[in-house]
Amino acid sequence: MNAATTGRTAAALAMVLLATTGAELRAETIGSVDTTFRMVGANDSIEIEAFDDPKIEGVTCHLSRAVTGGVGKLIGTSVDTSDASIACRQIGPIRITEPLEDGEKVFSERRSIVFKTLQVVRFCDRKRNTLVYLVYSTKVIEGSPKNAISTVPMMPWQTGDGERVEAQCGSGDD
């Protein structure tokens, strides 16, 4: 490998890192439990996080995911497993703030330095007026078949001032 090839490879890697860093939608950490003791570095754990759907008011999702500890976590080289679970619920009146697209990414989180990402995408089951959230992981070369879903039936909601709010899957309020 010559100097020009090395330079192009480093530039490409830097562009991938920059492109993936700002694109993540962040979650709020709720808590964690240790699953494996490590003599050096952080223990392996299961972390619980919450995030709100960015285009749908009144829906919150909770994720639990495995996190690899050890020395790799300290220096940033550990790769977390693809194990994740999701539970999404209606927590208030549902208001769709923008048009929705099936398979739209609503949450993304890197699981390794560059190559692995945990993602949550949303679908609308229009026949049942239900939101469907799918969590899965992707890798640059090959993804994982491990996945989980959570559904949120879009139910009418009575607000404190007596307003009845009813949303339809796939409709935008704009």
* Integer angstrom CA distances of residue 43 from 36, 64, 83, 151: 6, 16, 17, 32
Please give the pLDDT value at position 127. Answer: 95
Give the contacts of 105 (CB within 8 A, at least 6 positions apart).
25, 119, 120, 121
Please give the pLDDT value at position 174. Answer: 37
174 residues of the chain, pLDDT tens digit each? 554 443 443 333 333 333 333 334 578 999 988 887 777 777 788 889 999 999 999 999 999 988 777 666 556 656 667 788 999 999 999 999 999 999 999 998 876 666 678 899 999 999 999 999 999 988 766 667 889 999 999 999 988 899 899 998 866 543
Computed over its alpha carbons, how large is the radius of gyration of the chain?
19
* Domain locations along the chain: 3-165
Please give the pLDDT value at position 39. Answer: 73
Please give the pLDDT value at position 117. Answer: 82
